[in-house]
């Protein structure tokens, strides 16, 4: 299947690690140009060097995405370098455990800045380019938007708002033929996930209790499985898909979690 994204410039926020890294690798496999925007320069530059060593163009641009000026400047740098932006993947986020009981109005607002505001900033600054090149947007949300998790009010609120903005932007941008979709992960092993898991008394036991409840195969979703959906949504093969929430989660959110897994 020809995805038709060769040479397309695709911004991936938080593309140095985890799901974002998986997306960048999948883009590189399709000969698109991944542009990583985030605050992990070591990992970001290492990945870019790896791509360049096999003659894949790629860039890393530093940005603390909670900072509006960083977002603006990063988008400008991409546009100046390439003269185009074909797609945006809003991916960076942190499940930072700002709860209702254990939290504060200040930390709630801080977490929204880290998790939500930059999805809007990046889309806003990319929009002129996306209009020009009939681009598309994918927002990475989270199951917590629908299932809740407990103790993470701001993160869950941000993830829910990302879904709302996905539909809102899909409607607003119909006239420009810009498609906007969301991908909703549940359980994917990444640096963020490992950190979250390490907060429990017995991480291996906790992990086992989670994977047992993932209906399809009693296993975590892989980064590659996430990335395949994102890159498909960006491609011409998804040319009539907009305003959708795609759950790449082995049935975690929608199937009955009391089910035994398919392999058991
Ligand atoms: P990850 O392993 O921590 O990778 C996220 C990347 O984004 C990191 O490089 C991180 O940098 C960067 N980042 C985060 N906030 C940033 C900011 N304000 N400015 C600049 N860079 C920032 O996380 P992941 O698990 O791949 O998560 C990716 C997305 O999937 C997130 O939106 C997350 O909410 C969502 N998600 C993940 C899961 C899962 O199971 N992993 C489940 C549901 C949803 P630092 O390392 O410096 O923080």
- Residue 219 reports pLDDT greater than 70: yes
User: Atom 17, ligand 1: which residue's CA is nearest?
Assistant: 65
pLDDT at residue 235 in the model:
98
Strand-pair category, 136-140 with 179-185: parallel
Q: Quick one: pLDDT band at residue 256, thresholds 50, 70, 90?
A: confident
193 Cβ closer than 6 Å to some ligand 1 atom:
yes
* Residue 112 and residue 35 in contact, taking contact as beta carbons nearer than 8 Å: no
Q: 56-65, 168-177, 190-199: which range is least confident on average?
A: 190-199
How many CB atoms sit inside 10 A of residue 72's CB?
Answer: 15
- Distance separating alpha carbons of residues 6 and 31, to the nearest angstrom: 5
- Show me where the domains of the chain are located: 9-188+222-257
Phi, psi angle pair for 13, to nearest 5°:
-75, 140
What digits encode the pLDDT tens for the residues 231-244? 999 999 999 999 99
Pocket flag, ligand 1, residue 15 (CB < 6 Å): no
The reply to whether ligand 1 has any atom less than 6 angstroms from the CB of 39 is yes
CB distance 191 to ligand 1 below 6 Å: yes
Cβ neighbour number for residue 54 with a 10 Å cutoff:
7
Among 11, 13, 14, 91, the mutation site with the greatest number of ligand 1 atoms within 8 A of its Cβ is 14
- Give the pLDDT confidence score for residue 260 in this predicted structure: 59
What the block records as the tokens of 117 is 């505001």
Q: In this structure, which residue's CA is closest to atom 3 in ligand 1? A: 192
Q: Is 253 near ligand 1, meaning CB less than 6 Å away?
A: no
> What is the set of active-site residues?
155
Beta-carbon contacts of 10 under 8 Å, excluding residues fewer than 6 positions away, are 27, 32, 33, 34, 35, 86, 87, 88, 89, 234
Q: Indicate the CATH number for domain 9-188+222-257.
A: 3.40.50.720
User: What separation in Å is there between the alpha carbon of 55 and the centre of ligand 1?
Assistant: 27
Q: What is the pLDDT of residues 142-167, one digit of tens each?
A: 999 999 999 999 999 999 999 999 99
- Judge residue 162's burial from the number of C-beta atoms within 10 Å of its C-beta, 0-12 exposed, 13-18 middle, 19 or more buried: buried
> Does any ligand 1 atom lie closer than 6 A to the CB of residue 192?
yes
> By alpha-carbon position, which residue is closest to atom 43 of ligand 1?
142
Report the separation in Å between the CA atom of 18 and the middle of ligand 1, taken as the mean of its atom positions. Answer: 7
Which pLDDT value is given to residue 263? 53
**Ligand 1 atom closest to the CA of 40, numbered from 1:** 47
pLDDT number for residue 262: 54
Q: Is 115 in the pocket of ligand 1 (CB under 6 A)?
A: no
């Amino acid at each position: 299947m020809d995805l038709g994204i060769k040479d397309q410039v695709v911004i991936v926020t938080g593309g140095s690690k985890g799901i974002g890294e998986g997306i960048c690798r999948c883009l590189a496999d399709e000969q698109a140009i991944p542009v990583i925007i985030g605050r992990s320069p070591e990992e970001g530059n290492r990945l870019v060097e790896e791509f360049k060593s096999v003659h894949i163009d790629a860039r890393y641009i530093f940005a603390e995405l909670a900072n509006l000026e960083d977002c603006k400047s990063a988008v400008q740098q991409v546009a100046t370098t390439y003269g185009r932006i074909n797609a945006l993947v809003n991916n960076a986020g942190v499940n930072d455990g700002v709860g209702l009981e254990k939290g504060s109005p200040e930390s709630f607002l801080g977490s929204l800045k880290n998790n939500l505001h930059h999805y809007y900033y990046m889309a806003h600054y990319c929009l002129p380019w996306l209009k020009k090149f009939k681009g598309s947007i994918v927002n990475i949300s989270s199951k917590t938007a629908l299932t809740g998790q407990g103790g993470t009010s701001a993160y869950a609120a941000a993830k829910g708002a990302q879904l709302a903005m996905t539909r809102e932007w899909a409607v607003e941008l119909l006239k420009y033929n810009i498609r906007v979709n969301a991908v909703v992960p549940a359980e994917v092993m990444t640096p963020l996930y490992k950190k979250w898991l390490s907060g429990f008394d017995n991480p291996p036991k906790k992990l086992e209790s989670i994977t047992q409840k993932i209906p399809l195969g009693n296993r975590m979703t892989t980064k590659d499985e996430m990335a395949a959906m994102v890159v498909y949504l960006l491609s011409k093969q998804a040319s009539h898909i907009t305003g959708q929430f795609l759950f790449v989660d082995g049935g975690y959110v929608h199937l009955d979690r009391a089910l035994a897994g398919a392999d058991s």
